[in-house]
Structure 1
Amino acid sequence: MRLTPASVATERDRLGQRAPTVVPLLNDTRAALGELFDTEVDAVTDEEYRREVDSVFADGDRAVNVAALAGLLRDLDVEGDYPGFVVDELLGRRLASTIAGGQPLALLAEATFHFADTRVHGGPDDAAGADDLDAALAAGFQTRLPGWSWREGASPFAVEPREG
């Protein structure tokens, strides 16, 4: 794999074009999590997803890592599949957390990756990492995009700086 500014831009475009696959998975994941946690979660549109892909790739340091992880997952295939289970899970978790951003969102995206991964399965001709790529995109972007009520407004745990 060789990463250049041009190949990172190509990856941005490729991930943006995944909206018809990723957004339904993202929304399905949000709806299922909302039901589990007894809360309403806003759905995401294809356009919101694409804008957020652009936002992730506008940060060059994040962009090169997202491009590398996505490329590895897209091409990852392991004979017999099961021996590769750990590596595609590892790469998927890392991609989801890198997309989501810093803590605590990175950890939430990693946990959500495993949940989303149970909701998507690749076809017999797909590389082993292909469904993990979609699950990682859904988990990472659903975590960083607004729509969760607990993320609206300031945290009640913020402590004002001391004076003097």
Structure 2
Amino acid sequence: MQVTPDTVATERQWLRERASTVVPLINETRTQLGELFDTDVDSVTEMQFRDEVDRVFADGDVAVNVAGYVGLLRDLDVTGDYPGFVVDEVLGRELAATIAGGQPLALLAQATFHFADTHTHGDDDEAAGADDLDAALAAGFQTRLPGWSWREGANPFSVGDGRDDPTATE
């Protein structure tokens, strides 16, 4: 696999065009998680998804890695699928985490990937990694997009602004 700036641009466009498949999975995942955690979670529109794809790909360090994971998962196939179970799970989990961003969102996206993956099943003629790709996209983007009440507003654990450390010396 050769990843170039053109490859990254192509993968970005492919993801934007995948909105009609990924957004319903995002919303289904959010609905089910909301029910499990007894909370309401905002749904996501295709425009929000496409805008967030653009934000992810605006950071070149993230974009090249997302493009690599997407390309690998889209083409990954294993005869009989089951022997490939581990590699597509690892790639899917890492793609979700990369899209979501740093900790703790990366860990949440990885956990959500496994949840979303139980609700995605590819067709027999699709590569083994295809359903993991959709689950990873749903998990990563649903984690980073707004709509969860616990992410709205100031974090109650934030202390100061980093400039008022009483132990600091000048």
Q: TM-score, normalised by structure 2?
A: 0.95
Aligned residue in 2 for 1:31: 31
2:99 is aligned with 1:80 = no
Partners of 1:123 and 1:81 in 2: CA distance:
12
SS in 2 for 1:147: coil
Following superposition, the deviation at residue 126 of structure 1 comes to 0.3
Aligned residue in 2 for 1:113: 113
Aligned residue in 2 for 1:53: 53
Aligned residue in 1 for 2:12: 12
Following superposition, the deviation at residue 134 of structure 1 comes to 0.3
The one-letter code matched in structure 1 to 2:113 is F
Following superposition, the deviation at residue 43 of structure 1 comes to 0.3
The one-letter code matched in structure 2 to 1:154 is A
Following superposition, the deviation at residue 154 of structure 1 comes to 1.4
Partners of 1:131 and 1:82 in 2: CA distance:
13
Gaps of 5+ in 1: none
The one-letter code matched in structure 1 to 2:51 is R
Query: What RMSD in Å do the two structures reach over aligned CA positions?
Result: 0.7
Following superposition, the deviation at residue 14 of structure 1 comes to 0.1
Partners of 1:112 and 1:154 in 2: CA distance:
24
> If you compute each CA radius of gyration, which structure gives the higher value, 1 or 2?
2
The one-letter code matched in structure 1 to 2:94 is R
Partners of 1:139 and 1:117 in 2: CA distance:
9
Q: C-alpha offsets along residues 1-36 of structure 1, whole Å, 9 cap, x if unaligned? A: 111111100000001110000000000000000000
Aligned residue in 1 for 2:43: 43
Following superposition, the deviation at residue 92 of structure 1 comes to 0.1
The one-letter code matched in structure 1 to 2:88 is D
Q: TM-score, normalised by structure 1?
A: 0.98
SS in 2 for 1:139: helix
How many residue pairs align between the two structures? 164
Instruction: Spell out the pairing of 1:57-136 with structure 2 (5 A cutoff).
Output: 57-136=57-136
Q: Report which stretch shifted further, 124-133 or 153-162.
A: 153-162
Partners of 1:90 and 1:6 in 2: CA distance:
26
